[in-house]
Structure 1
Amino acid sequence: MNINWIILIIGGVFESIFAMSLGKMQQTSGKEMWLWLAIFLASVSLSMFLLFKSMGGSHPIPTGTAYAVWAGIGAVGTVVLSILVFREPVTFWRIFFLSTLIISIVGLQFTSAHH
């Protein structure tokens, strides 16, 4: 796995953080809400920057693949965090479709690596 994939994965993690911070902002007010806003702004900036960096350098990830994987990592991470933090329901179908998303992300990584 080249460094761009690691950068992209970290960017996807920060996407989950910025999505979760939006949920936390809706549940808070005052200084705590401003703290979550600061976390949102920092994580969205870092996430976008890391997405951008993963598409450059000596082994760039193609734009379509990078964006799809970045968004998929963010989606999977957000669902998992929502289950853990917000106590969202865990159902068979939710886990089934989350699993298909993970399989798709891995598949994109493998097909892009051989391209």
Structure 2
Amino acid sequence: MAWFVLVVSGMMEAVWAVALARSEGFHRVVPSVLFVVFLAGSLGGLAWAMTSLPTGTAYAVWTGIGATLTAVWSMASGAERATTARVGLLVLLVGCVVGLKAVA
């Protein structure tokens, strides 16, 4: 159950990161509210998962999921260019996250 919560929390990290960027310095209400809600949920889930998972592993997986999904969203939405190098590095990042799960 802790792994499931950790994965969902990592996904929520991507939502709050995108919402933060779209809040325009907290001047836009809806993205600002989404940022606060998803930040609280994401950190709460990470904290809960850390009660039964090693801290370093949990944090690395949470960050890896959030960073990967944020980058994929940015490329899919056209905010960033999707290059072979970026996609390849994201594949490596996902491989590292899966590897951490495999050895935990």
| TM-score range relative to shorter protein | over 0.9
The equivalent position to 1:95 in structure 2, one of 83, 87, 90, is: 87
The residue matched to 1:26 in structure 2 has which SS?
coil
Q: Letter of the aligned partner of 1:46 in structure 2? A: G
For the structure 1 residues 98 and 66, does the alpha-carbon distance in structure 2 shift closer, same or farther, using more than 3 Å as the test? Answer: same
Residue aligning to 1:36: 31
Q: Letter of the aligned partner of 2:10 in structure 1? A: G
Matched residue pairs, number? 104
Q: Letter of the aligned partner of 1:22 in structure 2? A: L
TM-score normalized by structure 1?
0.85
Deviation digits for residues 2-35 of structure 1 (CA, Å, limit 9, x no counterpart): x000000000000000000012112995xxx111
The equivalent position to 2:21 in structure 1, one of 16, 20, 23, is: 23
Q: Letter of the aligned partner of 1:69 in structure 2? A: V
- Using the TM superposition, give the Cα deviation of residue 86 of structure 1 relative to its aligned residue in structure 2, in angstroms: 4.0
Alpha-carbon RMSD across the aligned residues, in angstroms, is: 1.5
Unpaired runs of 5+ residues, structure 2, are none
- Counting aligned pairs with the same residue, the percent is 33
The residue matched to 1:89 in structure 2 has which SS?
coil
TM-score normalized by structure 2?
0.94
Residue aligning to 1:106: 98
Find the structure with the greater CA-based Rg: 1
After the TM superposition, which parts of structure 1 deviate over 4 Å for at least 4 consecutive aligned residues? none
Is 2:75 aligned against 1:83? yes
Distance 1:26 1:83 in 2: 19
- Using the TM superposition, give the Cα deviation of residue 55 of structure 1 relative to its aligned residue in structure 2, in angstroms: 1.4
Residue aligning to 2:9: 11
